[in-house]
Amino acid sequence: MTENSFEIKFNKIAIVGLGLLGGSLAIDLRLLSPDIEIIGIARRQETLIEAELLKIDDIKIFSKLSNDITDCAGCDLIVLCTPVQTIIDQLAQLSSFVKIGTIITDVGSTKRAIMNSASAVIPMGIYFVGGHPMAGSDKAGLSHAHAGLYKGATWALCENEKSGESVDKLFELIASLGASPIIIDADSHDDVVSLTSHLPHLVASALVNAVFSSNYEELALPFMAGGFRDTTRVAAGNPALWRDILMTNRDRVLTSLTKLIVELSIWREALQTADEPYLEALLSNASERRVMVNKVRKWKSIE
Amino acid sequence: MTENSFEIKFNKIAIVGLGLLGGSLAIDLRLLSPDIEIIGIARRQETLIEAELLKIDDIKIFSKLSNDITDCAGCDLIVLCTPVQTIIDQLAQLSSFVKIGTIITDVGSTKRAIMNSASAVIPMGIYFVGGHPMAGSDKAGLSHAHAGLYKGATWALCENEKSGESVDKLFELIASLGASPIIIDADSHDDVVSLTSHLPHLVASALVNAVFSSNYEELALPFMAGGFRDTTRVAAGNPALWRDILMTNRDRVLTSLTKLIVELSIWREALQTADEPYLEALLSNASERRVMVNKVRKWKSIE
């Protein structure tokens, strides 16, 4: 077990939903402390069995595993790592039994629906902070969970009137994972990720469907090289998870999608009119910007 | 120097254009044979200096370097590794001086314009086969050249009346690099790559431009995580190279782009009407297909 100078301010943490995000979080928390209690909650029996076997240096990652969310009772911190609609349902469930002083957070990819739900259902004395670590992957599930997933990842935190001082505690915990906490309002968050995450997912998926509904479905396979594979990688993600994301950010995704369709029409016009200089200018703009993104140092966690 | 059972049927090979593709090809050829003459032709002085220093086990990759394409005279094989429009210009130049029996090929990303040009300018007694290895990258330039770039890559070969038996020789050479030669007509090639390569490049570029012309340019940076980076990676490619590709495949790219815009309209409609089951069906289709692409064994070279 690695010695770590960070002292976790929580004694008993529940992680609800043991996929890539929940599983990786549990591993990192266990690496930070061999002593804290970590409760894992999952619906599927196979997941619970897989979670039971997770160990680091002979110390089990999970102190207790259960398929019953009421086993979160008595925890200081509850982290909901399920799809957005499930998080909303679970907030209502939790509000009926968690103890005063509990901090609840989540890792859902959209934040307005969750923040609104928390405002409505979380009782006085319970704290809630919305969260969104930018560390998802098409390689989902507990089997892909690993230490250090959050290193260098932006982790958005959204406050509301239920948050109180719990934000500071979460900020510190997230930074100790090597992630970069950013406090942002739910509106801005949902706007920004509609462009940087939801639109890319939608476009990658549409691209796959367009190619596969062409006349070249089979001939195309050997011609799906690195460019195609990179551009469409995210489309392999979990459909139900992404349905929830797109549905709970519908208005913003629609605005972003319309923006992209307008942009594509500009490219179409440049091609139709064979406007070489303009086409090259469009390509140059994109290339310079994308090279710049490569150069941006990943947001650094607080040392 | 690795011993290799493959015997190269060429004694003197010219590589015109020393970027990622030309440089990597030279390295692989030198690995196949320490004895063949490899002539490197490049326009820029810095490239020639960089190429001069390339060695494997103390044997220079290039036997001779020059900025003068007429130094290709006397070669058995000339491989044009320049952008598409430059290839077209160089075919005309070569046709005035290469010796009878020379085989010329290229690595250009579109094939109709090049095949038409070859038909028009290549004189009797000179052989031409169009080529397109699917091994390009946004990491371009000689500094990224490396052994084994072509391993597992599809390498399209297009014949015309100028090709004769040279196709067999090239097929064998390409297979010896570990690549997968596929003989395909230029029309089908340009159709297929408009979907699997050109459309992804265009869409990735349009996505970058859409995000960077939003109100969230700066705030968006920390939210450009793995999904955004994968989906837009190719957009960092060389603008002039891609201008040529899109311009020489304009009609097919327009058809493919229109197809994608129609597909995106379907997604927009599903979002507008909040049609959850349909949205999930669209996501599922894309996900299943993309997972299938991951599973496709890379086309294997002939052993």
What Cα–Cα distance (Å) separates residue B209 from each residue in A94, A185, A265, B179, B206?
43, 25, 13, 34, 5
| Residue A279 CB contacts under 8 Å (≥ 6 apart), including other chains | A267, A270, A271, B243, B246, B247
Residue of A nearest to B286 (CA): A205
| Domain around A156 | 12-184
Shared domain for B194 and B169, answered yes or no, is no
pLDDT at A1: 45
Provide the chain B residues 162-191 that lie in CB contact (below 8 A) with chain A: 180, 182, 184, 188, 191
Domain boundary among A134, A159, A184: A184
Strand order across the beta sheet in which A103-106 lies? A64-66, A37-41, A12-16, A77-80, A103-106, A127-133, A154-158, A180-183
Question: Looking at the complex, does the CB of residue A140 fall below 8 Å from at least one CB of chain B?
Answer: no
* Confidence (pLDDT) at B5: 54
% of chain A residues with pLDDT over 70: 96
Residue B264 gets which letter from DSSP? H
Residue B145 sits in the same domain as residue B215: no
**Taking a contact as any Cβ pair under 8 Å apart, which residues of chain B between 219 and 238 contact chain A?**
219-238
Mean pLDDT of B99-128: 96
State whether B224 and A196 contact (CB < 8 Å).
yes
In the predicted structure, residue B207 carries a pLDDT above the cut 60: yes
Q: How many domains does chain B fold into? A: 2
**Contact between A49 and A27 (Cβ < 8 Å):** no
Place A184 in a pLDDT band, splitting at 50, 70 and 90.
very high
Q: How far is CA B174 from CA A80, A181, B1, in A?
A: 53, 50, 20
CATH of the domain at B82: 3.40.50.720
Interface ipTM > 0.90? yes
B83: in domain: yes
* Chain A residues within an 8 Å CB radius of B219: 184, 188, 192
Q: Which of A39-43, A222-226, B203-207 has the lowest mean pLDDT?
A: A222-226
Contacts of A223 in chain B (CB under 8 A): 134, 154, 156, 192-193, 196-197
Name which of B251, B198, B247, B252 is nearest B85 in CA terms: B247
Backbone angles phi, psi at B66, to 5 degrees: -160, 155
Q: Are B63 and B89 in contact (CB under 8 A)?
A: no
pTM: 0.92
A175 touches A204 (CB < 8 A) = no
Flag whether residue A217 sits within 8 Å of chain B, measured between CB atoms: no
Which band of pLDDT confidence, cut at 50, 70 and 90, is reported for residue B218? confident
B250/A274 Cβ within 8 A: yes
Q: In this structure, are B234 and B153 located in the same domain?
A: no
pLDDT band at A297 (very low <50, low <70, confident <90, very high): low
Per-residue pLDDT at B210 exceeds 60: yes
Q: Is the pLDDT of residue B303 over 50?
A: no
Mutation for A interface: B20, B154, B185, B192, most A CBs within 10 A: B192
Residue predicted with more confidence, B9 or A83 = A83
Residue bearing tokens 């300018």: B121
> Does residue B68 contact residue B92 with C-beta atoms inside 8 Å?
no
Residues B61 and B203 occupy one common structural domain: no
Within A71-146, residue ranges assigned H as helices are 84-95, 112-121
What's the pLDDT score for residue A302?
Answer: 33
Residue A2's pLDDT band, with cuts at 50, 70 and 90, is: very low
What does the pLDDT read at residue B107? 98
Confidence band for B163, pLDDT divided at 50, 70 and 90: confident
pLDDT band for position B53 (50/70/90)?
very high
Report the CATH number that the domain containing residue A259 is assigned in CATH.
Answer: 1.10.3660.10
Convert the pLDDT of each residue in B234-291 to its tens digit: 999 999 999 999 999 999 999 999 999 999 999 999 999 999 999 999 999 999 999 9
Q: Which of B216, B253, B287 is the closest to A195 by Cβ?
A: B216
pLDDT of res. A294: 87
Give me the mean pLDDT over the A287-302 stretch. Answer: 72
* CB-CB neighbors (< 8 A) of B216 in chain A: 188, 191-192, 195
Under an 8 A CB cutoff, do B253 and A276 touch? no
